[in-house]
Every structure is written in structure tokens, then in C-alpha cells.
Amino acid sequence: MKDYLQLFWAFIKVGALTFGGGYAMLPILQRDIVEKHGWVNDEEVMDYYAMAQCLPGIIMVNTSVFIGRHRKGTAGGIVAGLASALPSLVIITVIAMFLTAFAEYPIVQNAFAGIRACVVVLIVNAVVKLWKSAMVDWKSIVIIFLPVFALSAFTEASPILLVVAAAIAGIVITVLADSHKKGGEAA
Amino acid sequence: MTYALLLLNLFWEFLKIGVFAVGGGMATLPFLYDLGEKTGWYTSAQVLDMLAVSESTPGPIGINMATYVGYTVGGFPGAVLATLGTILPGVILVLILAKFLARHHDNRYINAAFYGLRPASTALIAAAGVGVLGESLFNVSLWRETGNIADLFVWGPIILALVLAVLTNIKPTKNIHPVIYIAGSAVVGIVFKLGGA
């Protein structure tokens, strides 16, 4: 029982101290989980983080489940995953309660008009950053990025459909490129 | 719709987001836009406010957004169910696939799928960004009403956005944490009455 409580508390801290998720969790994992508790080593953390990105859902939660499972099996994984999500749940609920109650106040409305302008810039910056890591060649731009962008911006196409189609397209493009390469070598 | 049914529906919608939003927090944004339009549970302007709060508080953006939307739609039970829905598919898959992935995470087909998923995820966020741009910096409905092109532009927020676009991309101000920019923008919004309220 003590082990589970320790696991729970350690991942509450991970959830509460990580700003923005993803990469931001790594320094906290390294300090608390690797150095203080010694539950996993640096290399395992990076492996789990890489694998967590390949699965659907929230990268931070997935990574926490991997480490919790490594430490205490399935139950440990569930405890760590839920603990990492709990701080968000509490903090955001309190803020949402507060903001819902005061949404009609002019000062809140003016503040959010300014904030929205800022959020627009943050989204654009995020897209630019993602663009650099996602667009590995012209095929990924022409075959995937442009059609998905156009369909999403100008039609009612469901994002789920677009994501599934893109994954299939990725596999088809890779397999075709591989067989083309092999065909070229044979000839 | 009864409350229980609403909660069930909410859980189901976020379960789908948990499965299909690949690529980190911002990737949930287009799904949340789509959900709001489809159900009328919240407006796209509200999505922006939620995103601002999610960026300014600890925790992954994806969970923060789910909790916020869940609370807006169904109170505290809604917040819990939306959050659980978002994380559940990942949690279950990690527990089932942990052993398999340890051996195969460099798998050719997984990498090939991500070759398609990453640009798609970027495109979805970019499309949502265009929507956001249209709503917070431009007033399309007023322009249509009056036919006067000057009514299209909401100058206060446009100027603020341009200043921020420069500051967040030049040294040394680009390394300042987003929460500072968000707080600063709130102050500018209040001082210059950007909301017109």
C-alpha cells in the first residue's frame, strides 16, 4: 500500500509541476522519478516517452502509466496515470467555476479580448514549430498537409476521418517508396 | 436530453478525442472546435478562452482543455468524465501494449503511419488557427452587414497580436513563458477596453 501511495504522490507532483505537457515533464521526471526514487533510469524514461508519443491520448499520462506499470504492474500504471491527471482536473475546475461566475463582468470580457489576440499568436507559433518537425519532404506537404488543411478549413470533414486517412496515406506512401526502391535495385 | 444522457454523450465524445487526437495537447484543438460546432455545447470564442486558461495553468493542455470543456457542458461530473474519456484510451493501450512496444516501437509501419499523421495534425491545428484568427481579429458579420471594409478589422486586437508575434519570435523576449504574455495581454485588454465592454 505504501508503494502505491508513494507512486500516487510522486505523479501528483509531476502533473502539478509540468507546464504545457510533453517535453516539459522530462526535467521533473529526471529529478524526482530517476534521481530521487530511482524507479527507472534516464534511458528508460526516454524510451517510455518515445513510446508514449506513438499511442493516442496525452503524452504525459501515457508516460506516467509506463513508469507506474514498470514499478508496480497494471495497478501501478493506473495509479500513476490517474495521479498525473488529477492536479489539472482540480485546478481547471476551480478556475472554470470562478470564470463562469464572472464571465459577464466588463473587466473579464476586456481581459479575454486581449488574451484571445495572444492565443492566436501562440497557435500560429505552435504551427510554425510543428511545421519544421513534421514536413520532412515535399510529399508530406503536397499529399497530406495541403489536402487536410483545405478539407478541415473549408468543409465540414470530420477530423477523425482526416486523421485516419492520413495514417493510411503515410503507410501507403512509405510502402510504395520502398517497393519502388527495391524494383529499381532489381532492374 | 436528460442530464445522465448528456454526461454519457460527453464521455463518448471525449473518448473519441482520446483515440484520434494524435500529437500532443494542441492536437485536441481542432476536435474541440468540431465538437462545439456539432453539438452547440459551447462557442468557438469559448474554446479560445479555455485554451488561454489551459496554457496558463500547470498540466498538459489536452487534459486542461478536456476538464474545462467538460465543466462548461456538465459541471463537475462533466469535468471528470471528459478528462477520463481523454486519457482512458491511452492508459488502456499502454497497459496492453507495453511489452509489445518495448520490442517494436521502431516498427516500420508505426513510423510510416506517423509520417502521415504529423503533417495531418499540423494541418488540422493550422486550420483551427485560421478559424481562431477570423474570430478574434476580424469582424466578418459586421462587415457583411455594413459592406464597409473598414468594419472587417478589429484594430486593437490586431495591433496587439502583431506586437506579440514579433516579441515571441525575437531574442531575448522569445524565451519568456507564454503565461507572462497571456497575463500581459489580459492587462492590455483591460486598459484599452479591447472587448468594448
What ipTM did this prediction achieve?
0.83
**Residue of B55, B91, B162 to mutate, interface with A, max A Cβ within 10 Å:** B91
Buried b (16+ CB within 10 A) or exposed e, A88-109: bbbbbbebbeebeeeeeeeebb
How much is the pLDDT for A7? 95
Out of A82, A133, A169, closest to residue B116 by CB:
A169
Backbone angles phi, psi at B59, to 5 degrees: 100, 160
pLDDT the model gives residue B192: 93
Least confident interval from A23-32, A40-49, A83-92: A23-32
CA torsion sign, A16 to A17 to A19 to A24? negative
pLDDT at A31 over 60: yes
Mean pLDDT of A74-89: 96
Banded model confidence at residue A184, pLDDT cuts 50, 70, 90: low
pLDDT reported for residue B139: 81
pLDDT at B39: 94
The predicted model gives B140-165 an average pLDDT of 86
CB contact under 8 A, A114 and B160: yes
Rounded CA Rg of chain B: 20
Instruction: Tell if the CB–CB gap between B190 and A131 is shorter than 8 Å.
Output: no
Contacts of B121 in chain A (CB under 8 A): 130, 134, 163
Q: Scanning the structure block, which residue is given the C-alpha cell 519532404?
A: A137
Distance CA A83, CA A15 (A): 7
A54 to B137: CB separation less than 8 angstroms, yes or no = no
Q: What is the pLDDT of residues B118-150, one digit of tens each?
A: 888 888 888 888 877 887 788 877 888 888 888
Query: B16 pLDDT exceeds 60?
Result: yes
Q: Which three cell numbers stand for residue A115?
A: 488574451
Question: Which residue of chain A comes nearest to B135, CA vs CA?
Answer: A116
**Per-residue pLDDT tens for A115-150?**
888 888 888 888 888 787 777 788 889 999 999 999
How far apart are the CA of A187 and the nearest CA of chain B, in angstroms? 25
Percent of chain B with pLDDT over 70: 97
Q: List chain B residues with CB under 8 Å of A15.
A: 58-59
What is the least distance, in Å, from the CA of A5 to any CA of chain B? 19
Let me know: does A100 contact B72? Beta carbons within 8 Å. yes
A92 in the Ramachandran plot: left (φ > 0), alpha (ψ -120 to 50) or beta? alpha
Is the model's pLDDT at A75 over the cut of 90? yes
Q: What integer pLDDT is reported at residue A187 of this predicted model?
A: 42
Asked if pLDDT for residue A186 goes beyond 60, the answer is no
Testing the interface with B: which of A115, A156, A173 to mutate, by most B Cβ within 10 A? A115
Average pLDDT of chain A, as a whole number: 87
Nearest to A76 by CA among B95, B89, B85, B102: B95
Of A52-66, A122-136, B65-79, which one has max mean pLDDT? B65-79
